[in-house]
Structure 1
Amino acid sequence: MQLKDLRPAEGSKKSRKRVGRGNSSGHGTTAGRGTKGQLSRSGGGKGAGFEGGQQPLAMRLPKLPGFTNHSRVEYAPVNVARLEGLFADGDTVDAESLMAKGVIKHDYIPVKVLGDGELTKKLTVKVDKVSASAKAKIEAAGGKVEPAC
């Protein structure tokens, strides 16, 4: 036996139905679609997801999951450990000084100081928000927390 002798098994290959090729083919005139009605027309039938006039599932569900609060304020977080490494004793920490040192990218984004890490330097912190643990660490080191101007 050679490669040229290989043939598919008898009856495994069927020729496709050629509709609309004359009445003698057995699938002429209406091409197996029936006589009249929605399904006999070109482009006829219901669209994908049609539920018989009921509001489709894709339209009943919300477009995106969850809820977005448009009045939420996003703060740029800065930990006291970062302040310890970047600022000298007696320095003032505000949005401009943080931006100058590359901690935050923009000075118009509100800043919140968080209490992760240790602080030994006496700093004056003037930012939008300070967590309770960060405030305690700043004041324990001899510094003070003032409201942002």
Structure 2
Amino acid sequence: MALKSLKKQRRIQVIALAAGALIISTGLIGYAMRDGINFFRSPSQVMAEPPRATEVFRIGGLVEEGTLVRGQGETVRFSVTDGGATVPVVFTGVLPDLFDENQGMVGTGRYVEGVFEASEILAKHDETYMPKEVVDALKEQGVYQAPGS
């Protein structure tokens, strides 16, 4: 009788230990990913509800015509629009080859004092592709035109 009780107690201890390890590992994964999850926002969403300056997110839309200004060194300023709102962007680095005005782009960075400070800029990689989030944001504003139209 004592042997069965000992096995049952050991089984309960193992299950409790496994459950505790699962809870701790889930918490650590969530803590580690808190800055790694970059939510997408359109320019209209950024202007409607400006995110905190500490929040890293992705913004996408079209590079507004006439706003691309190449400064000293590798600093570039431009505006990104979805047809409903426009957000000024500053980026220091090398832009992708296909980056140009009236082209789709996605940037990762922070919105600080009314300017999106990009740490990374992606441009569409061929003549027909545009990221789904950008297409959806442009369609929502009624300014999306399919390639070739």
- TM score, norm. by length of structure 1: 0.29
- TM-score, normalised to structure 2's length? 0.29
**Which of structures 1 and 2 has the larger relative contact order (alpha carbons within 8 angstroms, sep 6+)?**
2
**Structure with more helix by fraction:** 2
